[in-house]
Amino acid sequence: MKVLIVDDEPDVKDLFLQQFRKEIKSGLISTLFAYSGDEALEILASREAMDIILIMSDINMPGMSGFELLKKVKEQFPDLKVYMVSAYGDSENQEKARSFGADGFVPKPVDFELLKRNLFQQA
Amino acid sequence: MLRNFNTEVQNLAGTVALGVNIALKEQNFEGVQTALDFVKNNPHLRFVSLVQIDSSGGSFKKSIFKTYPENYPANVSAVSGDSIIVKSAAFSTPMMSGEILLGLSTSEITASKAQIRNTSIIVCLIVFGVGILIGFFLARNISVPVLELRDAAVKVGLGDRTQQVKSTSKDEIGQLSQAFNKMVMDLATAESERKAAQDQLIQSEKMASLGQMTAGIAHEIKNPLNFVNNFSKLSLELIEEIEAETDTQEKAELMEVLKGNLTKINHHGKRADSIVATMLQHSRGTAGTKVPCNLNQLCNEYTDLAFHGMRATTQDFNASIIKNFEENLPLVHLIPQEFSRVILNLLNNAFYAVNERKQKDLEAGKLAEQPEVKISTQKIDNQIIIRIVDNGSGIPEPIKNKIFEPFFTTKPTGKGTGLGLSLSYDIITKEHGGKMSVKSEPGKFTEFILELPL
Q: What are the boundaries of each domain within chain A?
A: 2-122
**Which pLDDT score is estimated for B431?**
85
What residues in A contact B308, CB-CB < 8 Å?
60
Mean pLDDT score of chain A: 88
List the single residue in B230, B257, B260 with the smallest CB-CB distance to A19. B230
φ, ψ (nearest 5 deg) of residue A61: -135, 145
Q: B257, A18: Cβ pair inside 8 Å?
A: yes
Residue B364: pLDDT above 70?
yes
Q: Which CATH architecture has domain B2-105?
A: 2-Layer Sandwich (3.30)
**Which pLDDT score is estimated for B213?**
67
Distances (CA, A) of B363 to B13, B311, B357, B370, B433: 127, 21, 10, 15, 43
Contact call for residues B235 and A115 (beta carbons, < 8 A): no
Q: B308, A67: Cβ pair inside 8 Å?
A: no
Residue B419: CB partners within 8 Å, gap ≥ 6? B201, B202, B205, B406, B407
Q: Averaged over B111-127, what is the pLDDT?
A: 88
Q: What ipTM was estimated for this complex?
A: 0.88
Cα–Cα–Cα angle for A113, B214, B296, rounded to 5 degrees: 95
Q: Averaged over A70-86, what is the pLDDT?
A: 91
**Which pLDDT score is estimated for B307?**
87
What residues in B contact A87, CB-CB < 8 Å?
218-219, 221-223, 226
Q: A108, B321: Cβ pair inside 8 Å?
A: no
**Which pLDDT score is estimated for B215?**
66
pLDDT tens-place string over residues A26-56: 989 999 999 999 999 999 988 777 789 899 9
Distance from CA of B318 to the nearest CA of A (A): 6
B351 at the A interface (CB within 8 A)?
Answer: no
* Percentage of chain B modeled with pLDDT above 90: 22
Q: A88, B219: Cβ pair inside 8 Å?
A: yes
Q: B227, A88: Cβ pair inside 8 Å?
A: no
Return d(Cα B341, Cα B375) in angstroms, integer: 15
Q: B312, A60: Cβ pair inside 8 Å?
A: yes
Q: Which CATH number fits domain B288-454: 3.40.50.1000, 1.10.150.20, 3.30.565.10, 1.10.3720.10?
A: 3.30.565.10
Q: B318, A110: Cβ pair inside 8 Å?
A: no
CA atoms within 13 A on the CB side of B248: 0
List the single residue in B219, B229, B317 with the smallest CB-CB distance to A109. B229
* Percentage of chain B modeled with pLDDT above 70: 94
**Which pLDDT score is estimated for B416?**
66
Choice among A99-103, B54-58, B62-66 with the minimum mean pLDDT: B54-58
Question: Domain spans of chain B?
Answer: 2-105, 288-454
**Which pLDDT score is estimated for A65?**
83
Report the CATH fold assignment for A2-122: Rossmann fold (3.40.50)
pLDDT tens-place string over residues A89-104: 778 788 889 999 999 9
pLDDT tens-place string over residues B157-204: 888 888 888 877 778 888 888 888 888 889 888 988 888 887 777 777
Radius of gyration, alpha carbons of chain B:
57
Identify residues of A whose CB sits under 8 angstroms from chain B CBs. Answer: 9, 11, 14-15, 18-19, 60, 62-65, 67-68, 87-88, 108-110, 112
Q: Averaged over B358-372, what is the pLDDT?
A: 83
